[in-house]
Structure 1
Amino acid sequence: MMYRIAIVVSSLLLFSCASTESPIANQPYPALNDERFPSFELFPVESEQEIFYLDEQAQDFVQKALISSNSLTPDLNKLVANIFDYSEMGLLYRNTANSVANTTFHSRAANCLSLSIMTYAMADYAGFEATFYEVDIPEYWTRRDGFSLINGHVNMRIGNRLETNIATTASRSIDVDFDPQMIRRHFPRNKITKQEIVTMFYNNKGADALIENSYTRAYSYFREAALLSPHIQQSWINLGVLYRMVGDYEAAETSYRYALSLDDESLTAWENLSVLYRRTGREQEADEILAKVESRRVSNPFYHFILGEQALDDGRIDEALSHYRKAYKLDKTRHEVLFGLAKVHYELGDVHTAQRYIRKAEQVAPSNQDRERYQSKLSTIVSMIN
């Protein structure tokens, strides 16, 4: 999809039957549209219990991690260190891997939300108190199969339960953040509930389904997210994107307007509304909204980066180069921007400049996986030159 339509996911955005019957969705939420997706109940979502469940093997991992070599009391530092060792040595950080706690443990692929869910489940099983936080990061987009995904980020704090009578060793609390972009830890954060984390999980799974063109499944997840936490506007924005994609423009506008009633400063909701207006021939209104959105985003390097990505997807190479350069001027440390410059120079036939930017991207990449990816790209280019 070549429009700048932002699906909201909770990773950097994306099972089996739920234990409870889906509630009826008439009032007070007119933005829900069960009639459009009459078979949505054939796609039940995971229950909270299923999302945080750990099997015996995962529980055994926790038990072994709890006891340090010189103490017989539960060691919070040891538990967290073992979880990080497990994730760093054998678990692949993948932004698209949205999974329940037990699947994350066994599949060894997850994003920050899935890793946080697994860690919460392990901390809870061990008897510690875990608290989720949503990090207030600037708008940050990624591209996936033609979609622009605007990403959120979560981390957590783990500490001793005040009511417990079990003695523990080491720190009273530890902050845990799996994001390889370390800079995000410097942003303010707000405490959120376990229920809100489940809502984020549903939105991520709904985004997965939407990208796969499984629209009824996507509705099932977005619907459940909206009903579980109706105050979270991301669910209503995502529903609006879904309605627009199936051609229900009236429902899409209702959903965007409902999201804006919760927060009329949401640039994502306004931008999606402008896309809808343009699709329905309301060009002047679309232009007015988009001008206001762009004036607010002009200083965000990732705004220019995602415009470059979209232009490159469309084959507008010179325009892509202009956007990447604007992003680079605002922030010269982002590996994504440097790789964007490498891609566009490669398309222009300037292989040596592409090679130079890939080397720079490799140098500032925050994770081993990114560095290895750039090394592979660099080796491919070198082999072509030679």
Structure 2
Amino acid sequence: MLTVLAGCAAAPQWAFDLRNVPPLKLDGQIHSYDPDSPDLRDPGILEVTPQMREFVELYTADSNNAHNKLISLHRAIKGQGALAMQYDPFADGTAAQAFGRGSANCLSYAHMFTALAREAGLNAQYQWMEVRPEWHRMGERVAVRLHVNVQVKMRDSTEYMVDIDPLNRNEVAGARLMSDREGFALYYNNLAMSALADDKPVYAWKQLVRGLHEAPGLSQLWVNLGAIYRYAGQYDEAEQAYFHALEIDNGDRSAMNNLVVLYELQGRSNEQSYWEERLERYRNLNPYYHASLGDAAMEEEDWGAAYDHYTKAAKMQPDDGLLIYSKGLAAHQLGDVAEAERLVSRAIEKASFQVEKQRYRVQLKIIREEQAAAL
């Protein structure tokens, strides 16, 4: 079957070129990308207003080093007596808009904190937090989540992570620093997706193409561009956008899923089956899918199944302390105290955060006390 469908997996022969992005064709009109359009004026994403400068001066001027400046700035932003910034998942916008409004989601907060921190002379950068994929009990992925925060690096190389709505440790699969242009691209992406939800596909398309001009290497933006073309009935352009996303990241689950949806719309059953099988193979090779099965088994008190699932997950991702720790918990429930002690001790070595290490040490103490009592 794979041999028969090999041709189905190949990308179409023409490719996107950001200098000549295919126009959007909708309601009998053709919309081309015009960088001079009023819709695309520079929003000043990291622009600092006079009020923001005064804020930084007020709360950091007396700080005698970078660490103290960071602590003072963070407290002033989050503290009830100063800015009292509130989390709102729908509060997109620029740094100045988030500051003036007093509310932000993770991305607009990253814009604002980066701008304020740099105004204070701190080395602040956007940071992409990769969130573990989530599955239903049947094994299907729920959603791909995107989370952005800020990393502030001191001269002694100490790094601090600043976040308005921190993820739980068990939600994090990895992290990487982002360029300003990638941060800007995500701003335009959010504008686009909000506009598409409001049934404004032309505005959405313009903003998304602008985002791709900032950071053409973000596969998620190509997937969303494909969604807009699909909305407009431009299936060939949608298909190519999805394939381009896969050229950037051959494990982009969203691109694969969108190809399944597209081929189902077109009645292209062979291609649809190919990508459904590809998604299933990817799922079975993903350690966090097996971890989710382990979590489900733990909830059902099926300790043996949980241990097996965590074993499979930890084998695929041997440096993930949480997977090792979860396997240790399952071993503990199975009564294998020596194995549980070994695994939790190893999880402590692999843990990245002190709070994580402390939690594991508490569990290790419990296991050792049980072991001592049994002697």
TM-score normalised over the length of structure 1? 0.61
User: Which residue in the other structure is 1:99 paired with?
Assistant: 93
Q: Do structure 1's residue 194 and structure 2's residue 164 form an aligned pair?
A: no
Q: CA deviation at 1:265?
A: 1.8
Q: CA deviation at 1:245?
A: 0.8
CA contact (8 A) 1:102 1:118 kept: yes
Letter in structure 1 aligned against 2:182? E
CA pair 47-89 structure 1, distance change in 2 beyond 3 A: closer
CA contact (8 A) 2:131 2:145 kept: no
> Residue 134 of structure 1: SS of its match in structure 2?
strand
Q: Do structure 1's residue 261 and structure 2's residue 247 form an aligned pair?
A: yes
CA pair 251-51 structure 1, distance change in 2 beyond 3 A: same
- Report Cα offsets for 1:337-384 as digits up to 9, x if no partner: xxxxxxxxxxxxxxxxxxxxxxxxxxxxxxxxxxxxxxxxxxxxxxxx
User: Which residue in the other structure is 1:38 paired with?
Assistant: 31
Letter in structure 1 aligned against 2:148? V
Aligned counterparts of 1:209 and 1:91: Cα–Cα separation in 2: 25
- Report Cα offsets for 1:111-159 as digits up to 9, x if no partner: 1111011000001111111122212222359xxxxxx863211222224
Q: Do structure 1's residue 329 and structure 2's residue 296 form an aligned pair?
A: yes
Q: CA deviation at 1:255?
A: 1.0
CA pair 196-271 structure 1, distance change in 2 beyond 3 A: same
User: Which residue in the other structure is 1:47 paired with?
Assistant: 42
User: Which residue in the other structure is 1:156 paired with?
Assistant: 150
> Residue 136 of structure 1: SS of its match in structure 2?
strand
Letter in structure 1 aligned against 2:46? F
User: Which residue in the other structure is 1:285 paired with?
Assistant: 271
CA pair 149-32 structure 1, distance change in 2 beyond 3 A: farther
Question: What RMSD, in angstroms, separates the aligned Cα atoms of the two structures?
Answer: 3.6
CA pair 29-327 structure 1, distance change in 2 beyond 3 A: farther
Match of 1:28 among 12, 17, 24: 17
CA pair 28-138 structure 1, distance change in 2 beyond 3 A: same
Aligned counterparts of 2:197 and 2:246: Cα–Cα separation in 1: 24
Q: CA deviation at 1:106?
A: 1.4
User: Which residue in the other structure is 1:182 paired with?
Assistant: 168
Q: Mean Cα displacement is larger for which, 180-189 or 83-92?
A: 83-92
Q: Do structure 1's residue 294 and structure 2's residue 280 form an aligned pair?
A: yes
Q: Do structure 1's residue 225 and structure 2's residue 211 form an aligned pair?
A: yes
Q: Do structure 1's residue 207 and structure 2's residue 224 form an aligned pair?
A: no
CA pair 253-184 structure 1, distance change in 2 beyond 3 A: same
Aligned counterparts of 1:331 and 1:109: Cα–Cα separation in 2: 38
User: Which residue in the other structure is 1:7 paired with?
Assistant: none
CA contact (8 A) 2:130 2:175 kept: yes
Larger Rg: 2
Aligned counterparts of 1:186 and 1:265: Cα–Cα separation in 2: 18
User: Which residue in the other structure is 2:57 paired with?
Assistant: 63
Aligned counterparts of 1:159 and 1:302: Cα–Cα separation in 2: 30
CA pair 136-44 structure 1, distance change in 2 beyond 3 A: same
CA pair 113-88 structure 1, distance change in 2 beyond 3 A: farther
Q: CA deviation at 1:39?
A: 6.3
Q: CA deviation at 1:209?
A: 0.8
CA contact (8 A) 1:271 1:289 kept: yes
- Report Cα offsets for 1:229-254 as digits up to 9, x if no partner: 11221111111000001111111111
Aligned counterparts of 1:185 and 1:298: Cα–Cα separation in 2: 19
Q: Do structure 1's residue 123 and structure 2's residue 139 form an aligned pair?
A: no
CA pair 284-88 structure 1, distance change in 2 beyond 3 A: farther
Q: CA deviation at 1:86?
A: 5.9
Aligned counterparts of 1:184 and 1:194: Cα–Cα separation in 2: 27
CA pair 177-123 structure 1, distance change in 2 beyond 3 A: same
CA contact (8 A) 1:301 1:327 kept: no
Structure 1 unaligned spans of 5+: 1-25, 142-147, 163-170, 304-324, 333-386
Structure 2 unaligned spans of 5+: 1-14, 136-141, 300-375
CA contact (8 A) 1:200 1:225 kept: yes
Q: CA deviation at 1:270?
A: 0.9
Q: CA deviation at 1:180?
A: 3.8
Aligned counterparts of 1:330 and 1:89: Cα–Cα separation in 2: 44
Q: How many residues align?
A: 271
Q: CA deviation at 1:71?
A: 5.5
Q: Which has the higher contact order (CA 8 A, sep 6+)?
A: 1
Aligned counterparts of 1:85 and 1:291: Cα–Cα separation in 2: 50
